[in-house]
Structure 1
Amino acid sequence: MKNRTLAGLLLAIAAAASPLALHAAEAQGAQEKTKEYVKDSVITTKVKTELAAAKLSSLLKIQVETGNAGRVTLTGTTNTPSARNKAVSLTKAVKGVTSVDNQIKVVADK
């Protein structure tokens, strides 16, 4: 009889604790996503700062998006292949960047 009572008590405790554990896991998952979003925002800001500091006017026409844990996508236009390569190398040098998707198009100024 004692074993049944103890088993019932343990089952009740486990049933009561399950929602709490699930809630804690969901809260931790949300916290991780927030940290990742903030980290990605910081990376985007750092990349934009580096591009602006390079003082090449064509680098100002480049858009930067960061997502998926440091994967940076560069879009927009530059007027030379060397400016495009410079944008990629500056981006790769930023701490936290894990990869660069270079979608920059070279368009000669008219």
Structure 2
Amino acid sequence: MKHVIQLFFTSLLALTLLTAMGCGSTQKQEGTGEYLDDTVITTKVKAAILNEPTLKSAEINVETFKGVVQLSGFVSSSAGISKAIEVTQGVAGVKSVKNSMQLK
């Protein structure tokens, strides 16, 4: 009986460790916490761009991975690109900004 209980707890421990490792992040995949953080950052960046009257937010796409924000889409001027990058850099949690925006 003692052996069965010990085997049960050993199996439970192994399962717990494997589950915890599955929630960690790799270079190409985010853990659960990082995904939620990136979702919050993306939302904040979109709101900041939306609140900037000189930018047309519908034309700028925002994606975030591990705090790195990628901006893409079409913008009408190079000043618009610069402003979008500036606004994005001002958002808490943004580690860096990758610009993939293009002029119309």
Tell me the TM-score range normalised by the shorter chain. 0.7 to 0.9
SS of aligned partner of 1:102: strand
CA distance in 2, matches of 1:54, 1:80: 15
More helix by share: 1
Unaligned runs of 5+ residues in structure 2 are 1-5, 25-30
Unaligned runs of 5+ residues in structure 1 are 1-12
Higher gyration radius (CA):
1
Q: What is the TM-score of this pair, normalised by structure 1?
A: 0.72
Cα contact 1:59–1:87 (8 A) shared by 2: no
| Cα distance per residue 1:79-101 (max 9 Å; x no partner) | 11111001011111111111111
Q: What pairs up with 1:1-110 in 2 under 5 angstroms?
A: 19-32=11-24, 33-67=31-65, 69-107=66-104
Q: What is the TM-score of this pair, normalised by structure 2?
A: 0.76
Partner amino acid, structure 2, of 1:73: Q
- Aligned-residue identity in percent: 31
Partner amino acid, structure 1, of 2:100: Q
CA distance in 1, matches of 2:64, 2:14: 30
Following TM superposition, the consecutive aligned residue runs of length 4 or more in structure 1 with deviations greater than 6 angstroms are: none
Partner amino acid, structure 2, of 1:95: A
Cα contact 1:74–1:100 (8 A) shared by 2: yes
Partner amino acid, structure 1, of 2:96: S
Partner amino acid, structure 2, of 1:72: V
Q: Post-superposition shift, 1:29?
A: 3.7
Task: Calculate the aligned-residue CA RMSD, in Å.
Answer: 2.4
